Amino acid sequence: MPETLADIGEFGLIDRLDKLLREEGARLPEDTLGIGDDCASFQSRAGYELLITCDCIVEGRHYLPRFISPMDLGRRAMVLNISDIGAMGGHTLYALVSLGLRSDTPVKDVEAIYRGFIAELNPFDAAIIGGNLTKSEGANFIDITLIGEIESGKSVRRSTAKPGNSILVTGYPGQAAAGLHMLKAIPVDDVRAHPLVQAYNTPSHRAREGEAVAKSGMATAMIDTSDGLLGDLGHICDESGVGARIIQENLPISSALREAAGLMEHEPLDFVLQDSDDYELIITCLPEDVDGICSLITSLSHIPVTEIGAITEKTHGIKLVSHDGILREITPSGWDHFAK
């Protein structure tokens, strides 16, 4: 029988995880206090502001344990938070991790989850500096608070888009939604290897791209697509007090998504516009800065960047221009944790 949390207890697990982080994680600066005291502490840099975000994922609600490995689960949980920091143009520094775990959870699974955290944090030279452990009587959960920094005055917000701005999106939105649909429609272990399922289980963040865009000063607003393309564009419109016009034929759709949508008897657009935690970036900018932003991002990662429409006056709402030129009003329907 594998060793479980009931076998080693809370403090035994803390010792294991502390050792793992020291051996495999990023080294802490001398003026940073990590695991081992009542609080963690670090010195913030003069001329920089701190960015703080948190996200919680719950077994059965945000991930399907049968179809994701513990290490991939750790990666997924950390990507959610890194993406938020990057969407404002920041650089990830430190993480606080809280876990709620059943006592029969294998210790090796928890260590693998932490290796997933480390795999995503190490490229930023970022580290876990504390957290909390608690016993769960039901679903396991992971709750992460992430701290980043950005040069003062350089953060890109969702509330500063203006009418006339162009709307850009990175990558191929909707792939994670299609992957989740595949997991539910084709519940067999082999489906885990499908690229769309991998896009759902282990999404990629665009934090480095967001940081570079913020430094360039070319973006007027930015957000990640954790709630889906339409849902998060709706957040920009709400916070900025604007509307948007999306050109349907400009929406980027991958060949994998087209093929899978056909097999599942769906339109690709169903996945592109609905809630889909892809963690791409929606960026608004002046029309004359479109080429500059596209060149900057593709020089970093070779991911596609597509101009999909423009910001309009608030009274216009959010409209989709179909292939035949007909204007259709659409309502953002991003992820809602409390929706029925």
Dist. CA 286–CA 17, nearest whole Å: 47
Structure tokens, 41: 């502490």
Task: State phi, psi for 9 to the nearest 5 degrees.
Answer: 75, 170
| Number of continuous H segments (helices) and E segments (strands) in the chain | 10, 11
Any binding-site annotation on 38?
A: yes
Any binding-site annotation on 275?
A: no
24-32: long-range contacts, CB 8 A cutoff, minimum separation 24: 24/115, 24/118, 25/118, 25/121, 25/122, 25/127, 25/128, 26/121, 26/122, 26/124, 26/125, 26/126, 26/127, 27/127, 28/127, 28/129, 32/94, 32/127, 32/129
Give bridge partners of residue 131 from the DSSP assignment: 97
Any binding-site annotation on 158?
A: yes
Any binding-site annotation on 270?
A: no
Nearest by Cα to 90 from 168, 151, 158: 151
Any binding-site annotation on 62?
A: yes
Q: Residue 246, SS3?
A: strand
Structure tokens, 57: 């994922």
Dist. CA 157–CA 73, nearest whole Å: 28
Give bridge partners of residue 284 from the DSSP assignment: 167, 221
Any binding-site annotation on 55?
A: yes
Any binding-site annotation on 224?
A: yes
Task: State phi, psi for 4 to the nearest 5 degrees.
Answer: -115, 175
Dist. CA 224–CA 222, nearest whole Å: 7
Dist. CA 167–CA 177, nearest whole Å: 21
Any binding-site annotation on 312?
A: no
Annotated binding site: 38, 53, 55, 62, 84, 114, 131-132, 158, 224, 226-227, 277, 335
Annotated binding site for ATP: 114, 131-132, 158, 226
Annotated binding site for Mg(2+): 38, 53, 55, 84, 132, 224, 227
Annotated binding site for substrate: 62, 277, 335
